[in-house]
C-alpha cells in the first residue's frame, strides 16, 4: 500500500489522518509541521526537516496546514514527482493558479472537504439551485470550532460555488460575505454567507433556499473530524501513482 506523508502532522487534522491511516492499514512515511516547531516524532510518525525530505520518502502527501506554505509544498511535490492531496482552506485565486500550474507536472487533488456527505450535498445544492428561480434567496450558514482561522469555510465556498454553478453565474459576482449596519435590501440573485465560530464544532453547513412563504434547507453536520481524515486517506490512496492532473473528491468518490 502507498506510503502517506502528512504535512501539518501535529495539527488537529494531521493527527486525525495518522489515526485514520492506521485504521485503514496504510503506512505513514512521516510528517512535517512549521519548520523548527516540533520534536523528532509524534507517536509513531517521524517528523522530517522539510517538505522535500517528506516528498522523497512518500508515495503521496496530504497537506492540511496553511495557505502561506502551499507554494513550498507544491514545489516539493513537483520536484520529487510525488502526488499531493491539498485539504488546506483559506485559498485565494493565486493559490488555485499555483495548483493548476503544479497539476501540469504532478497529480494534485484539491478538496475543501473530504467527507462523502458534503461532496454529495454539493451536488444536491447545484441541482436545487438550477431548478429554483432567483426569487428563491440562497443563504449559506456555517459553524466551526473556536480555533478556525479562515472564513467563510472552504466548504461554505464550495457550496456557494455549487449554487452559483446551478444558476449559471460566477460566485464572485453574486456573493455577499457578511452584513453589518444599513445594508439595504437584499439584491435578487445574491448568495449570502453567515459565519459562526465557537466551542468544538467539527463543521456544520446549511444551505437555505428562502422563497415566498416557504424555505428549503439542505445541510450537513460533521460529528467529528474523523470523517474528513478517512476521506483524506481514501483520497491519498486513490491519488498515489496517478498521472499529472488536477483531481477532486468527485473522482475519488465516483459522484
Ligand X SMILES: O=C(O)C1=N[C@H](C(=O)O)C[C@H](O)C1
With DSSP H G I counted as helix, E B as strand and the rest as coil, what are the percentages for the chain, rounded to 5?
40, 25, 40
- If one asks whether residue 76 binds ligand NDP (CB under 6 A), the answer comes out as no
Nearest position to ligand NDP, beta carbon:
11
Sign of CA dihedral 37, 39, 41, 42: negative
Closer to ligand NDP by CB, 200 or 212: give it.
200
- Selecting among 148, 205, 220, 234, the annotated active-site residue is 148
Report the nearest approach of ligand X to the CB of residue 230 (Å): 13
| Range 20-59, binding ligand NDP (CB under 6 A) | 32-34, 37
Residue 219 grid coordinates: 445541510
- If one asks whether residue 230 binds ligand X (CB under 6 A), the answer comes out as no
DSSP letter string, 90-135? ---HHHHHHHHHHTTTSEEEE-S---HHHHHHHHHHHHHHHHS-TT
Query: Nearest to residue 158, comparing CAs of 226, 255, 79, 240?
Result: 255
DSSP letter string, 49-80? SSHHHHHHT-SEEEE-S-GGGHHHHHHHHHHH
The answer on whether 38 is annotated among ligand-binding residues is yes
- If one asks whether residue 77 binds ligand NDP (CB under 6 A), the answer comes out as no
Report the nearest approach of ligand X to the CB of residue 82 (Å): 23
Number of residues that bind ligand NDP (CB under 6 A): 27
Would you give the DSSP letter of residue 11?
Answer: S
Query: Does the active-site annotation cover 27?
Result: no
Sign of CA dihedral 97, 98, 99, 100: positive
The answer on whether 119 is annotated among ligand-binding residues is no
The answer on whether 89 is annotated among ligand-binding residues is yes
- If one asks whether residue 7 binds ligand NDP (CB under 6 A), the answer comes out as yes
Cα distances (Å, whole numbers) of residue 211 to 27, 164, 169, 215 = 50, 17, 19, 6
- If one asks whether residue 14 binds ligand NDP (CB under 6 A), the answer comes out as yes
Of residues 3, 15, 126, 148, which one binds ligand X by CB under 6 A? 148
Instruction: Yes or no: say if 169 and 213 are a contact pair by the CB < 8 Å rule.
Output: no
The mark string for 144-183 relative to ligand NDP (x by CB under 6 A, - otherwise) is ----------x-----------------------------
| Range 76-115, binding ligand X (CB under 6 A) | 89, 112-113
Query: Does the active-site annotation cover 144?
Result: yes
Active site residues: 144, 148
> Residue ranges for the binding site?
8-13, 38, 87-89, 111-114, 145, 154-155
Chain contacts with ligand X (rule: CB under 6 A): 89, 112-113, 144, 148, 153-155, 203, 228
Amino acid at each position: 500500500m502507498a506510503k502517506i506523508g502528512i504535512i501539518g502532522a501535529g495539527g488537529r487534522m494531521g493527527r486525525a489522518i495518522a489515526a485514520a491511516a492506521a485504521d485503514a492499514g496504510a503506512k505513514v512515511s512521516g510528517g512535517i509541521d512549521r519548520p523548527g516547531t516540533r520534536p523528532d516524532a509524534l507517536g509513531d510518525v517521524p517528523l522530517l526537516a522539510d517538505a522535500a525530505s517528506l516528498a522523497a520518502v512518500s508515495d503521496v502527501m496530504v497537506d492540511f496546514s496553511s495557505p502561506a506554505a502551499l507554494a513550498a509544498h507544491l514545489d516539493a511535490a513537483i520536484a520529487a514527482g510525488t502526488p499531493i492531496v491539498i485539504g488546506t482552506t483559506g485559498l485565494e485565486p493565486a493559490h488555485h493558479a499555483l495548483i493548476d500550474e503544479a497539476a501540469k507536472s504532478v497529480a494534485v487533488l484539491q478538496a475543501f472537504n473530504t467527507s462523502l456527505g458534503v461532496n454529495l450535498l454539493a451536488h444536491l445544492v447545484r441541482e436545487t439551485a438550477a431548478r429554483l428561480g432567483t426569487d428563491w434567496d440562497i443563504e449559506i450558514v456555517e459553524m466551526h470550532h473556536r480555533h478556525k482561522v479562515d472564513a467563510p469555510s472552504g466548504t461554505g465556498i464550495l457550496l456557494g460555488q455549487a449554487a452559483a454553478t446551478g444558476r449559471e453565474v460566477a460566485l464572485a459576482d453574486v456573493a455577499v460575505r457578511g452584513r453589518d449596519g444599513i445594508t439595504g435590501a437584499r439584491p435578487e440573485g445574491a448568495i449570502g454567507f453567515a459565519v459562526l465560530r465557537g466551542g468544538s464544532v467539527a463543521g456544520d453547513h446549511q444551505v437555505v433556499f428562502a422563497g415566498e412563504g416557504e424555505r428549503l434547507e439542505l445541510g450537513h453536520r460533521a460529528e467529528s473530524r474523523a470523517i474528513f481524515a478517512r476521506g483524506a486517506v481514501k483520497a491519498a490512496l486513490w491519488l498515489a501513482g496517478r498521472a499529472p492532473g488536477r483531481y477532486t473528491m468527485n473522482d475519488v468518490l465516483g459522484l
